[in-house]
Amino acid sequence: MTAFYKFGTAMMRTLPAERAHLMTIKALKAGLGPKNKTSHRPELQTKVGGLTLPNPVGLAAGFDKNCEVPDAMLSAGFGFVECGTVTPRPQVGNPKPRLFRLSQDEAVINRMGFNNKGLDDFSENLRKRQGRLGLLGANLGANKESDDRIADYVTGLARLWGQCDYFTINISSPNTPGLRNLQGSTEMDELLDRLSEAREALAKEGPAYPMFLKVAPDLDFSDVGRVVEQARNYGLNAIIISNTTIDRPSNLKDKQAHEGGGLSGQPLFEKSTALLSEFHNAANGKIDLIGVGGIGSGAQAYAKIKAGANAVQLYSALVYKGPQLVQEICEDLSNLLKADGYSSINEAVGTA
C-alpha cells in the first residue's frame, strides 16, 4: 500500500497545487486514506499542554481548513490533528493562484489568506464526529475585514468550546495584513487578557481546554523571553514554533521562489529549529513547546524534540512524500530513541 500512496502523491503533483489539495481532501472523504495503527507505540507516548498524545507527530493547521477529514488523518497515524485556520465569518481568501510548489527545494509558498467556510460550518463538522476517538485542535484566526480582530478570536473560542480538545491562537500568518502586529507586547497583552477572561468564564461549568499560541519564525530572538512570560502569565499551555516565513533564503533553486506569501518546507527547518532552541532556553521547562517547520523525516522530527519540542507538527512534507510519511517518522523515532538509550520521548526533549 505504501507504493500505492507514493504513486498517488506523484500523480497529484502533476495537477495545479490548490486543485491537487482539494482533490486530496475529496479522496480522504471517500475513505481512500491510509490506515496505520503502528504509530501508537508506548515509547512514543508523550504529553503536551496537558494532553496525552499516542505519539508526538501532529498534523499542522492549513491542511484541513474546514475540519472535513480529521478522522482520516488520525487514522493515517498522526498523534493529534489541528484543523483550521477558521475565522468567524466565511472568507474566500486571496486571489488565485495563491499556492505554489517549489519542487526543487521541497518547499511550498502559500498566500491563501485564511480561506475557509467559517465557524458555523466548522462547528457542524465537529458535531458530526462527536464521540469519536483522537485528539483534535482548532486553529483560530481573524477575518481580514474585521473591526476587532481580538474579538474574532474570542468568538471562535466561545463558538467551538466543548467541541475539540485544544485551541491554537494563530497570530503569525503573513497573509492577513497586520495580523502579526498582535505579536507585539501591548497588543499581545490585550489579546491574551481577553482570551484568558473568556476561557475562565467558559470553564466555570466544565474543563478549561488547553490554549496554545502560534508564533512566526521571523520573530526576533530578543522577543522570545517576553513572549514566553506573556504566555505563562495568561495561562497558556504551549507555544507552537513556528508558522511560515516571509524570508527567502538565497539558496532557493525553484523558479517560483519569488512568489509572495509564507514559505514552508525544507528551507524553513534550520530557521525554525534555531528559534525553537531559543524558546526552550527561555521557557526552562515552564511551558510546553511544539516544533513545526521543515520536518520531512524521523531524523528532523527527532532534532526538533532534542531542541526542546514536546511534540512536533508537519504539513508541507506530505506534498512530496505522501500520507505514509507519518508512519515512517514514528518508526524512525522509535529506532532513534532506542539507539540513544531513551525509553520515552520525554527523556529526549531538550537534550541537544
> Any idea which residues carry the catalytic annotation?
173
Task: Count Cβ atoms below 10 Å from residue 334 Cβ, excluding itself.
Answer: 19
CA 85 to chain centre: 10
3-state helix, strand, coil in the chain (%, to 5): 45, 15, 40
Rounded distance, CA 348 to CA 345, Å?
5
Q: Residue 204 in 3-state DSSP?
A: helix
Rounded distance, CA 234 to CA 46, Å?
24
In the chain, the amino acid numbered 1 is M
Evaluate whether 71 touches 129 at the Cβ level (below 8 Å).
yes
Evaluate whether 80 touches 98 at the Cβ level (below 8 Å).
no
C-alpha cell belonging to residue 297: 523525516
In the chain, the amino acid numbered 67 is C
Q: How many CA atoms lie within 13 A of 313 on its CB side?
A: 28
If 0-12 CB within 10 Å is exposed, 13-18 middle and 19+ buried, where does residue 39 land?
buried
Rounded distance, CA 348 to CA 264, Å?
25
In the chain, the amino acid numbered 33 is G
Which has the closest alpha carbon to 235: 56, 50, 64? Answer: 50
CA 322 to chain centre: 17
Rg of the chain over all Cα atoms, to the nearest angstrom: 19
